[in-house]
Amino acid sequence: MSLKPKQPRPMPEELRKLTHLFPENSVYRLVGDKLYEKYDEADYVDLYHAEGQPGLSPVLLTFVTVFQFLEKLADRQAANAVRVRLDWKYALHLPLVYEGFNFSVLSEFRDRVLQHGAEARLFDSVLAQLREMGLVKGRGRQRTDSLAVLTKVRDLTRLEQLVETLRLALVALLKEDKNWTMATVPPTWEEVYGKPCAHEKLTEAERESLVRRVGPDGQWLLERVQAEGAPAKLRELPEVQVLATTWQQKFKLVDGELVAQEPGPYDGKTYIVTPHDPEARYSEKRDKGWVGYKLQVTETDDEDKPHLITDIGITSSVETDYRALTPIQDRLEKRDVLPKEQVGDAGYVTEDNLVDSAKRGIDLIGPVQKDTQLQARMVDGITLEHFQVDFERLTALCPGGQRATLGTSKGKRLVFRFAEAACAACPLRPRCCTGAGGRHISLGWNHGVLQAARARQETKEFKAFYRQHRGGVEGCLSALVRGHGIRVGRYIGTAKIHLQALFTGTAANLRRAARWLAGERPQAKRQGLKLSQSA
């Protein structure tokens, strides 16, 4: 499909006369009046071939997709809205007689955007436009938080997962090389693996039969696919690779016999939970588990500006928040919207992140994770803070007067080990050493930064500031869930759900900007009646 760029379409005169019909806080009025004409089809030429059938305007399809996420519409509903909605036609500068397009064009356009790595293009450009309008403060205050995003597929039992994994591999093999599959796979398998497995629809006898045969059948198929005479392309099929990984995780060979393997320590990076969404992972937070992904959101937090999303994206559900902070700041820097202050919870505040943020001119504000060592839980325990470390001479002095030199250096960590004999005779040992041998301490090169952060978080000023500015990001996450349906992924896979997040973030920004420009301001927090005075 090709693109013959056209000049931005001006507002039809018949629609311009209807401006008064749309409220001032309407997203569609904002886009139609101030944004749509600024987008040129020539900026999307790289998404198309030089020759071929002419495609629809990528600017049109991009904004239709944003409106779709704004109102939580399916593709068919969005395509219908283009035909019949007056406000959509106004925003898109379409004549009243425009008949629209087939809804399948929207999914094809999303695939095209993903194939060319252009998923963040509109988010970035809209944010830049809003900044030009004076709605984003340079070097202001921003806050970051994360949210669990559930996969759209249902949870599977162990048996269902195994059967479905094998079934999907068979379907993929049949589609890729029908002749090889028909000649290799026994015809009787169609009756067993020919339809989706639903545990509640199986009889007890069927369950027992599947339990006995699904493991050996899957192993037999893998051996045939990996045999020397099999087409090499079959081994590269994603469904076959999922089959191989799942069988490696679920089974083991004992004396040449395939037996079920007890789950080992959970490895969220590679452990497949469902073949229908192989990239989804199981994770837990505050005793609540979910299968899916994690959404990282950063929004502005300035009193005289609207709260706009400056970064939004999907990561693995098992990725810790502190690892996501550097990529977030990289993207903020690329968009030229780095903050002066960035507020986050304890999941983001680490020694390395404090130092790296300071190098960018960012004050990372948030509570530092508590010391979890046994000494820190004692009433009078001797913690890391009681040791004096000389980073130039690489020595450490303990409260008992003993000195230790650097024992080992593990990456960014320094480990000091005190002599066993000195610790054994020390009167402070009950408060310091809880095990055999001498005390050892481990700390980073920039431990002073961590100490300063811990000291700051104990001040009244910090507690008041954090209480005031941290909690507001929960409102942003709630709006994304309730207003735009971000809690459950619309699609399968990290890339497509990341695309959903970016278009959702764009829609949320347009909604907030439209309300702000119309004069709407956040309501002041309601104060409760408090008559008693604290001592």
pLDDT in tens, 83-131: 999 999 999 999 999 999 999 999 999 999 999 999 999 999 999 999 9
CA 313, chain centre distance (Å): 5
> CATH no. for residue 317?
3.30.420
Output b/e per residue, 151-164; b: 16+ Cβ within 10 A.
bebeebeeebbbbb
- For residue 444, which phi and psi values (nearest 5 degrees)? -90, 170
Output b/e per residue, 465-494; b: 16+ Cβ within 10 A.
bbeebbebbeebbebbbebbebbebbbbbb
Residue ending a domain, among 454, 470, 505, is 454
Asked if 354 and 486 sit in the same domain, the reply is: yes
Instruction: Evaluate whether residue 114 is within a structural domain.
Output: yes
Residues in contact with 223: Cβ distance below 8 Å, sequence separation at least 6, in sequence order: none
Structure confidence at residue 408 (pLDDT): 73
List, in sequence order, the alpha helices (H) in 380-425. 420-424
Decide: 163 and 214 in contact? Cβ < 8 Å. Answer: yes
**What DSSP designation does 153 have?**
S
Going by C-alpha positions, the residue among 394, 407, 402 that lies closest to residue 428 is 402
Question: CA 20, 21, 24, 30: dihedral to nearest 10 degrees?
Answer: -100
Asked if 461 and 447 sit in the same domain, the reply is: no
Maximum separation of any 2 CA atoms in the chain, in Å = 93
Structure confidence at residue 535 (pLDDT): 42
Asked if 240 and 288 sit in the same domain, the reply is: no
| Token reading at 384 | 């890391």
Angle at 354 between CA 348 and CA 356, to 5 degrees: 105
Instruction: Evaluate whether residue 533 is within a structural domain.
Output: no
Half-sphere exposure of 532 (CA within 13 A, CB side): 2
Asked if 83 and 165 sit in the same domain, the reply is: no
Instruction: Evaluate whether residue 321 is within a structural domain.
Output: yes
Asked if 333 and 207 sit in the same domain, the reply is: no
Residue ending a domain, among 94, 118, 142, is 118
Instruction: Evaluate whether residue 46 is within a structural domain.
Output: yes
Residues in contact with 393: Cβ distance below 8 Å, sequence separation at least 6, in sequence order: none
Asked if 364 and 462 sit in the same domain, the reply is: yes
Instruction: Evaluate whether residue 405 is within a structural domain.
Output: yes
Instruction: Evaluate whether residue 269 is within a structural domain.
Output: no
Domain extent at residue 27 = 13-118
Asked if 363 and 479 sit in the same domain, the reply is: yes
Instruction: Evaluate whether residue 129 is within a structural domain.
Output: no
Q: Report the number of distinct structural domains present in the chain.
A: 4
Instruction: Evaluate whether residue 252 is within a structural domain.
Output: yes
- For residue 202, which phi and psi values (nearest 5 degrees)? -90, 145
Asked if 19 and 113 sit in the same domain, the reply is: yes
Residues in contact with 304: Cβ distance below 8 Å, sequence separation at least 6, in sequence order: 137
| Token reading at 320 | 């810790």
Decide: 310 and 297 in contact? Cβ < 8 Å. Answer: no
- Determine the angle formed by the axes of helices 351-359 and 447-456, rounding to 10 degrees: 90
CA 262, chain centre distance (Å): 30
Decide: 12 and 96 in contact? Cβ < 8 Å. Answer: yes
Share of the chain above pLDDT 70, in %: 97
Taking phi over 0 as left and psi of -120 to 50 as alpha, with beta for the rest, 19 belongs to alpha
pLDDT one digit per residue (tens) for the chain, 535 residues: 889 888 888 899 999 999 999 999 999 999 999 999 999 999 999 999 988 888 999 999 999 999 999 999 999 999 999 999 999 999 999 999 999 999 999 999 999 999 999 999 999 999 999 999 999 999 999 999 999 999 999 999 999 999 999 999 999 999 999 999 999 999 999 999 999 998 888 888 888 989 999 999 999 999 999 999 899 999 999 999 999 999 999 998 888 888 888 777 677 788 999 999 999 999 988 888 999 999 999 999 999 999 999 999 999 999 999 999 999 999 999 999 999 999 999 999 999 999 999 999 999 999 998 777 888 888 889 998 899 999 888 999 999 999 998 877 666 788 999 998 899 889 999 899 877 888 989 888 888 898 899 999 999 999 999 999 988 899 999 999 999 999 999 999 999 999 999 999 999 999 999 999 999 988 766 666 666 655 4
Asked if 180 and 245 sit in the same domain, the reply is: yes
Q: What pTM does this model have? A: 0.90
What are the Cα distances from residue 458, in Å, to 344, 366, 523? Answer: 16, 11, 30
Instruction: Characterize the bridge pairing of strands 257-260 and 281-285.
Output: unpaired
Going by C-alpha positions, the residue among 386, 388, 405, 385 that lies closest to residue 397 is 388
Asked if 342 and 359 sit in the same domain, the reply is: yes
Structure confidence at residue 285 (pLDDT): 85
Rg of the chain over all Cα atoms, to the nearest angstrom: 29
Asked if 353 and 470 sit in the same domain, the reply is: yes
Residue ending a domain, among 91, 118, 145, is 118
Residues in contact with 514: Cβ distance below 8 Å, sequence separation at least 6, in sequence order: 25, 26, 27, 29, 30
Asked if 230 and 186 sit in the same domain, the reply is: yes
